[in-house]
Amino acid sequence: MVYKALTVAGSDSGGGAGIQADLKTFQELRVFGMSALTAVTAQNTLGVQGVYPLPPDAVAQQMESVGTDLGADAVKTGMLFSAEIIEAVAAKVRQFGWDRLVVDPVMIAKGGAPLLQEEAVSALKTYLLPLAMVATPNIPEAEALTGLKIQSIEDRKEAAKRLHELGVKHVVIKGGHDDDGEETVDILYDGSEFFYFTSKRIKTKHTHGTGCTFSAAIAAELAKGKTVQEAVQTAKSFIQAAIEHELGIGHGHGPTNHWAYRDKQTR
Ligand SMILES: Nc1ncnc2c1ncn2[C@@H]1O[C@H](COP(=O)(O)OP(=O)(O)OP(=O)(O)O)[C@@H](O)[C@H]1O
Ligand SMILES: Cc1ncc(CO)c(N)n1
């Protein structure tokens, strides 16, 4: 059986985040990867040097090409840049009935460069999040989407409930940014229960693209027909291995190691 996943995201020339992280992750998890590019970024481990969005029609046409021929068992979105691109992407998701949809609401790169225009946040809430099977905000993104200030686990649970009310079926609020403590905890809310995915916090500066890789791994597992809980568990193990076995390349915040999870399985 060949499982297929489509990523709708931006290109990271440095190869650690965006489309490149997504396709590498799909491949590592034995899922055929396809892409619709939303923007080209000139980017490396030191930061983002340039952002060149594509016309919304070009994004829609790439999705149309995939949808009318190959089809997709799961779809994920990453950097979408503008309200116009968000509307175009949501329309195609509806047209093809892509219900195994993971929305990673990418807003700001680690170095502070904006990857989503501020006025596009409401478009994300209106058009795309209601279609999501899973959404994976980090803490600052969950704050921007809900208007809440998130400090405690209780605050994160409240934010998850608010996002569920927008129509997101499963909300994962990631704990990478909560840098106290020895553990990272990702919280999953399915509308009735909370589930916790905990791992040892790794002390490293090489975390470029962790969010992209994590959400791509969820999409890959959903493409295989796994449940959301199973998919999040595999994604957590995948990103843990990728952070733990850092590559140590570039002069700034380096990429994670996309082949580490497979190495661990086959060793
Ligand atoms: N230092 C760390 N040690 C272990 N796991 C981590 C660490 N940092 C992040 N993670 C995990 O990586 C995943 C992504 O979380 P994070 O909050 O960093 O996403 P993000 O901010 O959206 O990433 P980015 O925007 O850089 O792509 C989560 O599963 C989180 O628990
Ligand atoms: C293209 C792109 N998408 C997402 C992120 C967030 O990590 C990034 N840095 N670059």
Query: In the prediction, which pLDDT does 267 show?
Result: 67
pLDDT above 90 for 180: no
Query: Is 233 a pocket residue for ligand 1 (Cβ < 6 Å)?
Result: no
Radius of gyration of the chain (CA): 17
Nearest to 234 by CA among 219, 244, 245: 219
Sketch the domain layout of the chain as residue ranges.
4-256
Interface predicted TM-score of the whole assembly (ipTM), two decimals = 0.97
DSSP state of 169: S
Q: What pLDDT, in 10s, does the model give residues 186-217?
A: 999 999 999 999 999 999 999 999 999 999 99
pLDDT of residue 265: 86
Provide the pLDDT for residue 42: 98
Residue located nearest, by CA, to atom 19 of ligand 1: 211
CA dist 122 and 77 (Å) reads 16
pLDDT, one tens digit per residue, over 128-171 is 999 999 999 999 999 999 999 999 999 999 999 999 999 999 99
Centroid of ligand 2 to alpha carbon of 106 (angstroms): 7
- Given this model, what pLDDT does residue 176 score? 83
- Spell out the alpha helix ranges (H) of 148-197: 153-165
Candidate list 4, 110, 125, 174, residue with the active-site label: 174
CATH number of 4-256: 3.40.1190.20
Determine the atom of ligand 1 nearest the C-alpha atom of 239: 12
d(CA 177, CA 218) in angstroms, rounded, equals 19
Q: Which of 24, 80, 184 to mutate to test the pocket of ligand 1 (most atoms within 8 A of CB)?
A: 184
For residue 35, CA distances in Å to 64, 69, 220 come to: 11, 14, 13
- Give the ligand with the smallest distance to the CA of 139: 1
Token pair of 188 as six digits? 């999953």
What pLDDT score was predicted for residue 266? 78
Q: HSE of 221 in the Cβ direction (CA atoms, 13 Å)?
A: 20
Q: Which ligand is nearest to the CA of 205?
A: 1
Catalytically annotated residue among 16, 18, 67, 211: 211
Q: Quick check: 113 pLDDT over 90?
A: no
* Ligand 2 center to 233 CA (angstroms): 22
Closest among 202, 168, 207 to 188, alpha carbons compared: 168
pLDDT tens by residue, 89-100:
999 999 999 999
- 202 ligand 1 Cβ < 6 A: yes
